Amino acid sequence: MGRPWSSAFGLALFLLGSLIIHADGQSQSLETDLYALLKIREAFIDTQSILREWTFEKSAIICAWRGVICKDGRVSELSLPGARLQGHISAAVGNLGQLRKLNLHSNLLTGSIPASLGNCSILSDLQLFQNELSGIIPTDLAGLQALEILNLEQNKLTGPIPPDIGKLINLRFLDVADNTLSGAIPVDLANCQKLTVLSLQGNLLSGNLPVQLGTLPDLLSLNLRGNSLWGEIPWQLSNCTKLQVINLGRNRFSGVIPELFGNLFNLQELWLEENNLNGSIPEQLGNVTWLRELSLSANALSGPIPEILGNLVQLRTLNLSQNLLTGSIPLELGRLSNLRVLSLNDNRLTSSIPFSLGQLTELQSLSFNNNNLSGTLPPSLGQAFKLEYLSLDANNLSGSIPAELGFLHMLTHLSLSFNQLTGPIPSSLSLCFPLRILNLEENALSGNIPSSLGSLMHLQVLDVSGNNLSGLLPPKLGNCVDLVQLDVSGQNFWGRIPFAYVALSRLRIFSADNNSLTGPIPDGFPASSDLEVFSVSGNKLNGSIPPDLGAHPRLTILDLSNNNIYGNIPPALGRDPSLTVLALSNNQLTGSVPKELNELSNLQELYLGINQLSGGISSKLGKCKSLNVLDLQGNKLSGDIPPEIAQLQQLRILWLQNNSLQGPIPSSFGNLTVLRNLNLSKNNLSGNIPVSLGSLIDLVALDLSNNNLQGPVPQALLKFNSTSFSGNPSLCDETSCFNGSPASSPQQSAPLQSGPNKVRERTRWNRKEIVGLSVGAGVLTIILMSLICCLGIACFRLYNRKALSLAPPPADAQVVMFSEPLTFAHIQEATGQFDEDHVLSRTRHGIVFKAILKDGTVLSVRRLPDGQVEENLFKAEAEMLGRIRHQNLTVLRGYYVHGDVRLLIYDYMPNGNLASLLQEASQQDGHVLNWPMRHLIALGVARGLSFLHTQCEPPIIHGDVKPNNVQFDADFEAHLSDFGLERFATMPTDPSSSSTPVGSFGYVSPESTGVSRQLTRGADVYSFGIVLLELLTGRRPAMFTTEDEDIVKWVKRMLQTGQITELFDPSLLELDPESSEWEEFLLAVKVALLCTAPDPVDRPSMSEVIFMLEGCRVGPETITSSSGPTSHASPV
């Protein structure tokens, strides 16, 4: 009987022991979790005290701690998102053996990702995004075989993406976007066959996109935007038939868009903008009917816009801007009933705007800027009631502005500038109550400004400049209290500036130049403390200068020139610390020049000429170190010229003529090393001409006539015309004395003119200018007679020019050729009557045609804008350009002028330009351009540009150095083109005008984008440096679209962070880091950075650039240096 009892007792004892052992094990595991959590708590900085219960004293309720979730008595989840935690993640997290989810996103954690996380073998969800974690992604994470979600987005992680991530066979979501990861995309990621989301955007990844990613059957979203990936887009991605999002924008992909993408029937978003893609837009995309977002902008796509895109009825965004698309805008786009954004900017589209676009009732933004669209604005656009943004700038649109646009009650931005619109400004626009920007600049609009626009209470920008508007300025615009910019310049407005404008307290820019405004500037106007530009030149304003104009700390341009303003210059103007341009010339100002103006340290241009100012020139003027134009001509100034003016090292123009100055010319003027124009004529100067003036190598205009100078003319100055020294009886050269005063001298006979417009050397006088200048110059009989003669000649020339322009040029008219003869008829025939099919390019200097003569000779013919240049000036400039010969410059073979027709005949360059060659190189893995070829191209361009700067007389500033202007002959020799054409450009009349083009976007030097916009050698050097960087890196300046980043800053950043290989054009990556070519490349990059120094003073000359580039080739040079430059005179 005891035996059964003994067995039962033993079994019970065994079970009790097992329970005790199990409980003890569980207790020990939970204790391990407790200590791990306390260690994690130690590593955190809890600024919000959300972990106050995480203490040993409360360990009994560990599973109730905030952010902690337990399962089966163990910690299975730690979730503390958005808790503003600082500190780092403790390695103790690896001791949470049963952890399934770790969520610490949206905190401020720093340090690295603990490698010990690899111990959490059953972890399936790891979310650490939006922190400040650094270091590499630990390869230990590859041990997390249960991991499904890995989100490390928006941190500061570096290094490559570990290939071992491909071992996570259960991974469904991988997001490491917006870090600084580098290297290639691992092919091993294709092993993650369950992957649905792959987001790698915003890193520094490079190399090709692995074709193996096309084997991911469940992939829904692929986001690789904003890296440096290159090569072709793999067509194999079309095998991922579940794809809904493809974002490959802002990379360096080349080749064509795969047609097979048309088979991705589930695709909803396709982003391919800002790459180097070419070819046409595949029509097959019209089959992807679920597509909602399609962005292909900033590529090199060509051909027409496929009509079949009208089938994409779900489309909300269509962005095809910044390509080379041609043809018309398809009517079928009017079927896109869900479209919200339509952008076709910067293409070559022609024809008219389809009326069908008015059917797009969901449309919010419509932008067709910079095309060749013609015809009228369709009134149907007024039916797109949700339109907020409408911009059609820089086309050839004509007709009137439809009143129906007033129906767009949600419109905030309307810009129709640079077209050919006529008729009045519709008063119905006042119904667009949210309107903030109204830009109608440079059209042919007439009538007045509707007073009803004063009801637009949110209006910030109103620009109607460059039209034919007239009447009074509407006082009701003073109700638009949010106005920041008001530009009414270049019109026929008359009457006073309304006193109501005093209420415009936020005004930054007010421009009313070249009207017929009268009366004084209203008291208290402008009242804005944010004022930056106040320009009212070329009116009939009178009264005195309001002292309040000296109370604007941000004022940079003050232009009151060419009016009837009288009185003293207020000393308060010296309190405008930001002033860069002060133009008060051609008025009736009296008194002395206030000494307070000497304190304007940022002043660059000072125009006080043709007034009645008296007294001496202050020696303190030398404190204005930034001054590059000083115009004091035509006043009553007396005393000596202060030698301290020589401290103005940036001075380019010095006009002191027509005063009563005496004493010697300061010998210190020889220190003005960048001086280009010096006029001291018609004073009482005495003594010898300083020999030091001969050292001014940039000096191109000199007038010392009509003084009391004596002695010999320095040998270096004898290159100037004798009229520069006439009227000085005691002044002699080697053979004669300058005691005459020839009437033929243009500097003697021309009427006085002063101010910013004179700096830009306008080539004609119109009636209004002559009458205005006669008042400023006085009523002396001889000057009046001179003005009458000039007016008569100008009128005769104008009449004769108009008569010539009415009749077509005779066919047998001779083209002036510097070698073989040619007629205008030959040119017409060779260009197919200047047919569109012969057009090679269009620039602001006209249209370039390919001309094929009967004997097979091919020429390039540039037709300048009709009537742009006066005939004699054109002939003189063309003759000068025809004498220029250099191996690396395009050769002008002849010219033609008759009536309004101006032609320049050049050699034809059969191998295109550098811009096209670089694009071709990027699409063919660079085998078109190796490093030696790129070096020779750079050297050739440098030699050509240096010749223009140093060997031409006068020196020629190119003004628009860019890849499009580097052309290649049959032997692929580089030739710099389009030089000297700035001389043919119509000069601006407003120094502050933003419409005056200087250079091309991305290649313009910092100092050329400001007010002066002067052409200088330093600006050319800067542009060459940008071209050199583009040649070396394959990166176009246009690829950098933010204010904080440009190609120069990007190159410097890559060098500073040691990412040297990122600088290389992909085609040059084969360079061996140990080879001489690698060293040569880096030397060339440094040359480019010297050329693009922010301060022009720090930039080398082009001769120095040649020396440095020649020194870059430490290896053998494949082609010898070009022969020395030559210059041959053309036959007359």
Using a 10 angstrom Cβ sphere, with 0-12 exposed, 13-18 middle and 19 or more buried, the burial of residue 864 is buried
What SS3 state is found at 376? Answer: strand
Cβ(940)–Cβ(973) under 8 Å?
Answer: yes
Cβ(990)–Cβ(514) under 8 Å?
Answer: yes
DSSP-assigned letters across all residues of 1089-1129: HHHT-SSGGGSPPHHHHHHHHHHH--S--SSPPPPPPEE-P
Residue 814 has phi, psi (to 5 degrees) of -80, 135
CA distance 890 to 596: 51
User: How many residues are present in the chain?
Assistant: 1132
CA distance 69 to 37: 12
- The residue from 125, 559, 631, 960 that is catalytic is 960
Handedness of CA 178, 182, 183, 188 (dihedral sign): negative
H or E segment at 708?
strand 708-712
What are the C-alpha distances in Å from 1122 to residues 883, 936, 941, 973, 1126? 19, 10, 11, 10, 11
CA 877 from chain center: how many Å?
A: 30
Report the Cα–Cα distance between both ends of the chain, in Å, rounded.
143
Q: Which of these, 573, 578, 577, lies nearest to 560 by C-alpha position?
A: 573
Strand partners, 687: 709
- In the numeric block, the tokens 């860019």 are attached to 962
What SS3 state is found at 817? Answer: strand
Cβ(1106)–Cβ(872) under 8 Å?
Answer: no
Cβ(254)–Cβ(229) under 8 Å?
Answer: no
Q: What's the Rg (C-alpha) of the chain?
A: 36
Cβ(726)–Cβ(742) under 8 Å?
Answer: yes
CA 379 from chain center: how many Å?
A: 33
Nearest-10 Cα torsion for 113, 115, 116, 119 = 110
576 is catalytic: no
Please write down the long-range contacts of 540-547, taking CB distance under 8 Å and 24 or more positions apart: 540/516, 540/564, 541/517, 541/565, 542/518, 542/566, 543/519, 543/567, 544/520, 544/568, 545/521, 545/569, 545/570, 545/573, 545/584, 545/589, 546/521, 546/570, 547/572
Cβ(433)–Cβ(410) under 8 Å?
Answer: no
What does the DSSP 8-state code read for residue 203? S
Using a 10 angstrom Cβ sphere, with 0-12 exposed, 13-18 middle and 19 or more buried, the burial of residue 49 is exposed
Please identify every residue annotated as catalytic: 960
